[in-house]
Amino acid sequence: MPKSTIAAVDVTAKRVFIRVDFNVPIKDGKITDDRRIRAALPTIKSVIDRGGRAVIASHLGRPQGTGHEAEFSLKPVAERLAELLGRPVAFPSNDCTDEATAAAVGKLNNGEALLLENLRFHTGEKSGDAAFAQRLASYGEVYVNDAFGTCHRKDASMVAVPQHMRAAPRVVGFLVEKEIRYLSDALAHPGRPFTVILGGAKVSDKLPAIEHLLPKADHILVGGAMAYTFLKALGHRVGDSRVEGDRTDDAKRILDLAAESKTDLHLPQDHVCSTVFSESHGDISEFEDHIEDGFMGLDIGPKTRLHYSKIIKSSKTIVWNGPMGVFEWRPFRMGTRIVAEAVAEATAAGAVSIVGGGDSAAAAEQFGVADKLTHVSTGGGASLEMLEGKPFKAVDLLDNA
């Protein structure tokens, strides 16, 4: 069911509580990647440009929840947001629930913006505490969810706050609307062939997505360390590669389901391996089929790259979540790079390409293809859970269009 967006709400002279995902990397007090801030700008600008009073809320990192921690303060984010908006952004206090913050919210004028301090400085955010949520809810007359990266969570600001604001408009921002539209449309009405690329370290993270996608996709391409649990389940020798031993039975069950389905589940045919998990140490060798003892698979090999690339380039819908190897290290980046470039080439030829956040988005940036893809998600965990077919309570309780 499509959700009502902030564009449908008259925000003039109203306090608009906007939950965003400003969980950005910060080093030595400096933001090293502001993509998530930029992604929220259309929603924030829509509110303040129409005379609304934006009360913006986010978490950052994983503080203890026992009060202010300088390393997780959102102050650098407030400063960067002000630069991007070209106007001041109030940042009233080290505590998002104290009287100074409440007073600052009350004094907001039309067209002004305020950023609350890190919600996770309070344990009530993660626990969904009702009193904490009630305090946050008192700051707004309209609720906006524009935090796709946390839509799969039940944090107070995502679920309890809109529950407390039942009488108010409760809508999605432009980012969440876009994320849901692309991901849901890809699953509901894909152009075919429909190819899903899944990688990363842990097979346990991706098994539910594979099972959910088997009746939907034409091809599922598996890479990364997660592939070795599947290969082990098939009786292949995988050397010292990472294997989740307690999930081999689950992997075998998925392989059996794939064999009975119309979907082709592809596993790596060859591997780039090393004797040490390191960028610059150890002996590097390539193996076809089986991997010798003492070696661990750290990237897909040349045959697999070519095979996967051909499938991707012939696809009309592509969903990519997870790298093919340790792409951050030069000896093991080629598999992910070839996949990224193939997705970009398919997109240029008319395919719809959707990249899950996290490492996949970082890889797309690293290899210079991010701006050549249809959509790069801001939420790795959220996009994966959507691929698993899980409902999002934080979205379900919002107003329908």
Predicted model pTM: 0.87
Q: Which among 35, 75, 202, 316 is annotated as catalytic?
A: 202
Q: Rounded to whole angstroms, how far apart are CA atoms 364 and 355?
A: 8
> Residues with Cβ < 8 Å from 30, sequence gap 6 or more?
76
| Token representation of residue 109 | 């004028």
Residue of 197, 375, 380, 207 whose CA lies nearest to 300: 197
Backbone angles phi, psi at 97, to 5 degrees: -115, 5
Q: Rounded to whole angstroms, how far apart are CA atoms 225 and 222?
A: 9
Q: For residue 119, what pLDDT is reported?
A: 98
376: left (phi over 0), alpha (psi -120 to 50) or beta: beta
Q: Rounded to whole angstroms, how far apart are CA atoms 169 and 94?
A: 29
Structural domains for the chain = 6-175 (3.40.50.1260), 182-387 (3.40.50.1260)
Contact 357, 175 (CB under 8 A): no
38 is catalytic: no
Strands 15-20 and 142-146: parallel
Q: Which among 51, 65, 294, 381 is annotated as catalytic?
A: 381
Q: Which among 36, 305, 333, 337 is annotated as catalytic?
A: 36
Q: For residue 188, what pLDDT is reported?
A: 84
358 is catalytic: yes
- Preceding omega of 193 cis (within 30 degrees of 0): yes
Q: For residue 1, what pLDDT is reported?
A: 66
- Long-range pairs, 124-130, Cβ under 8 A, ≥24: 124/156, 125/59, 125/65, 125/155, 125/156, 125/157, 126/65, 126/155, 126/156, 127/156, 128/154, 128/155, 128/156, 128/159, 128/160, 129/156, 129/160, 130/160, 130/164
Q: What angle do CA 277, 283, 289 make, to 5 degrees?
A: 85
Question: With the C-alpha atoms ordered 392, 203, 328, 197, is the resulting torsion angle positive or negative?
Answer: negative
Q: What angle do CA 265, 268, 269 make, to 5 degrees?
A: 115
Q: Rounded to whole angstroms, how far apart are CA atoms 361 and 382?
A: 13
What's the alpha-carbon Rg for the chain, to the nearest Å?
Answer: 23
pLDDT digit string (tens) for the chain, length 401 residues:
689 999 999 999 999 999 999 999 998 889 998 989 999 999 999 999 999 999 999 999 999 998 999 999 999 999 999 999 999 999 999 999 999 999 999 999 999 999 999 999 999 999 999 999 999 999 999 999 999 989 999 999 999 999 999 999 999 999 999 998 888 877 788 999 999 999 998 888 899 999 999 999 999 999 999 999 999 999 999 999 999 999 999 999 999 999 999 999 999 999 999 999 999 999 999 999 899 999 999 999 999 999 999 999 999 999 999 999 999 999 999 999 999 999 999 999 999 999 986 789 889 999 999 999 999 988 778 888 888 888 899 999 999 98
Q: Which among 200, 358, 379, 380 is annotated as catalytic?
A: 358
Residue of 367, 320, 291 whose CA lies nearest to 222: 320
Q: For residue 386, what pLDDT is reported?
A: 83
Side-chain-facing half-sphere of 166: CA atoms under 13 Å: 3
